Structure 1
């Protein structure tokens, strides 16, 4: 009999799962991807802005992780991988620009000198003195990043060095993100007996790398999305799935138009808020765990400024907590990745966990905020020749304290032929999403054959 697979969610996690199912199950398998959006790809979305392809969702991946380079090579796209120009970001704190501290782990310093100029002298002294103060750590603990770093190094380090990085990754803060998710190598160093936080950071720092830390795709992520869709040879059902029900020979999916779909196995690659009601009837334990994963929304403004606009030779700016800027981060795309055409491309990101900015603020006001922030930070007043506002609602999962336990509970509640994938599980970045798609496809392939 022909194997029938359904993948709910057409983002990178779902499309990787569909591709892996095609490779494993062969050309005769039926693979349907459900996604009501106007195009597949989820938060990987490439638009033409200033006549240049620009990613208006995720724009980069950590190059030291193997998943994306391996996938690109497998798809014949290895030559499309590009690195940064080598320029570094800045931090905007206390109304001034500061170099991004070096010798830190997610902004957590390994020595006091790295914070010089960013924090005051008293805080520098506190960091230098940290190894001499009593320290206690319970192996396996997962406090918030702020609980640990604030206690040992002070609130200025949290607000001015750590928060800017975590806001850029999660749209969250050190107070909302668990240590094990944000810096797993640091948690491992503490578990293994590091006598203080300073020593744990030193042990956890990765060795120096040659080449670019981050990678991107020439032509944008749509190049990868298009290739995955072509190779997976899926049927795209442009509808949302409301719920999943168990049947004697597999699964029944009911979409938002009332149509039934049948499958031997299902991969659910949707955000946690959508997952919970979808599986409530068949996996209540999973639904309960999914509801414990909070999400944030963000809005992105991309500006194509006239060629020659005097931007600094930096990759971007991250804003410290409490600054009088609207944006939490700016990416100077034309500096970070190199020139594109006769425009200077800039991305500004707005919205943090707990606010409703991405829903509440209109496009015109966001564009005004972007112009104001560029003037405040760089003194730039040039009018853009093109622009784009992109909103990502409830798209950024918060990896709170104890997140790994929540995910273990979520997976434990699922039958073998029902798997999950996505950025709310084992990592929010593109490499982790690729890994989750691979894992989900392998699980349902093995389980469906065993049936």
Structure 2
């Protein structure tokens, strides 16, 4: 974050910026713009802020109903949390011992890997995750000739060619699926795991490259927790950012989707209206605009002014998923959960289960485990290309989750939750197929031809919370630089109405 960056070498730009989208990217962009002295109006189409960061209550207990942690080895989310008064609330997981439910048994998730790609086969062999044949195939990589990757490659295809399909199917898929809810055989290695792509291009083997990445992390002192949470839930973060933005003078409008975006002789005009269309419309004049929305809404707004960007945005695919959150009686828990040693487990799609993962929230987060009688856990269902189970009712998703938990950890079939809630994220996670970075570059190039306009969010620079905040900072800096360089409201170029 740039909260403390006073940059006295130039005057702060003056102007009004409309931020469209009230997820964490839009809120972070607004926070950054306000810190530079700009006036901000934020438009959110829905009734609440935070996007896929959402907190709620279940059986009187605080729960995260969306993302539950941030990557602690990137600074952006932690810095933003501290800037909005949540520094003291940051906390690592109470336990981070995850398991894999594969080949019929809960097995330890082996260490020494980068997104499931092993650098050391010893922990992998000890875990029993791979068959003897799969382990032998992974160990045969040193006998293979190095491969030319080119500009990009599907992560699953490349890893399978080097280490065998079992490594992809039982390690890479469940880990990558937890981030993107996608298919490892389609996801771009360069876009999704760029550090792995870099060492794959420069090292004779993937194993050697992974060991190099681990050595770099050790030299950089990155030996602490990989993830961090917030006491009370990550869903507190967007609300705290919004409160800080309001305190700094931001105008934040809910149920106010942006309907039209046009250029004017002095900047931009945004027409916003109520979500149901019954509340009329408001026309807002601005010097600049930040689009922090998903591909579909962004494409609609850019159709006339940047048709090439709109076309690229329409090609972005999204995955849907559902989170099933339950409160169980501690007295009903089997030892596989009640011993407190595990934070949950991942499920490889190849095993054919309904749930893709389960988090033992009351084990994983100290703040979620304080009730002596109730225990919180959740399961996830659905990923790109495998979303049939999402057609089930909420009640059915609870039942299939309980059935899988019975098979995985021994939860008795007679156990009934005290309370449940199902949160559906329809089209929630953008997919990063091979060539995704090229698409992002083309979108940004088309948008850059319209001074005073910038884009940010999960589809551009990574789906994780720190990546979204970094994307927001990049967009805010583009706007700040444009307004600062202009020193006055922008004059449109001659192609303002054509987008050419």
TM-score category of the 2 structures, normalised to the smaller one: over 0.9
Which position in structure 1 is the counterpart of 2:423?
390
Q: Secondary structure at the match of 1:255?
A: strand
Matched, 1:77 2:74: no
Deviation, structure 1 residue 356: 3.8
- Report the Cα distance in structure 2 between the residues aligned to 1:159 and 1:406, rounded to whole angstroms: 27
Which stretch shows the higher mean deviation, 435-444 or 161-170? 435-444
Q: Secondary structure at the match of 2:460?
A: coil
- Report the Cα distance in structure 2 between the residues aligned to 1:48 and 1:375, rounded to whole angstroms: 25
Q: Structure 1 residues 445, 306: CA separation in 2 closer, same or farther (over 3 Å shift)?
A: same
Structure 2 segments unaligned to the other structure (5+ residues): 1-12, 491-500
The 5 A counterparts of 1:421-440 are 421-440=456-475
CA contact (8 A) 1:299 1:392 kept: yes
- Greater Cα radius of gyration, structure 1 or 2: 2
Matched, 1:93 2:102: yes
Deviation, structure 1 residue 261: 2.3
- Report the Cα distance in structure 1 between the residues aligned to 2:433 and 2:262, rounded to whole angstroms: 30
- 1:194-240 CA distances to partner (integer Å, 9 max, x unpaired)? 11222222222353544321101112234322221122123222221
Which position in structure 1 is the counterpart of 2:67?
58
Q: Structure 1 residues 423, 358: CA separation in 2 closer, same or farther (over 3 Å shift)?
A: farther
Q: Secondary structure at the match of 1:400?
A: coil
Match among 104, 114, 122 for residue 113 of structure 2: 104
CA contact (8 A) 1:304 1:346 kept: yes
Which position in structure 2 is the counterpart of 1:40?
49
Q: Secondary structure at the match of 1:270?
A: coil
- Report the Cα distance in structure 1 between the residues aligned to 2:311 and 2:50, rounded to whole angstroms: 27
Deviation, structure 1 residue 359: 5.2
Which position in structure 1 is the counterpart of 2:209?
200
Matched, 1:332 2:363: no
Matched, 1:236 2:267: no
- Report the Cα distance in structure 1 between the residues aligned to 2:392 and 2:52, rounded to whole angstroms: 20
CA contact (8 A) 2:98 2:343 kept: yes
Q: TM-score, normalized by length of structure 2?
A: 0.85
- Report the Cα distance in structure 2 between the residues aligned to 1:164 and 1:180, rounded to whole angstroms: 19
The 5 A counterparts of 1:5-404 are 5-25=17-37, 29=39, 31-116=40-125, 117-138=128-149, 140-191=150-201, 193-205=202-214, 207-208=217-218, 209-233=222-246, 234-237=250-253, 238-256=255-273, 257=277, 258-308=281-331, 309-310=333-334, 311=337, 312=339, 313-338=341-366, 339-342=369-372, 343-357=374-388, 360-381=391-412, 382-404=415-437
Deviation, structure 1 residue 358: 6.9
Q: TM-score, normalized by length of structure 1?
A: 0.94
Q: Secondary structure at the match of 2:228?
A: strand
Q: Secondary structure at the match of 1:448?
A: helix
- Report the Cα distance in structure 2 between the residues aligned to 1:81 and 1:358, rounded to whole angstroms: 35
Match among 435, 441, 459 for residue 408 of structure 1: 441
Deviation, structure 1 residue 252: 1.6
* Aligned-residue CA RMSD (Å): 1.8
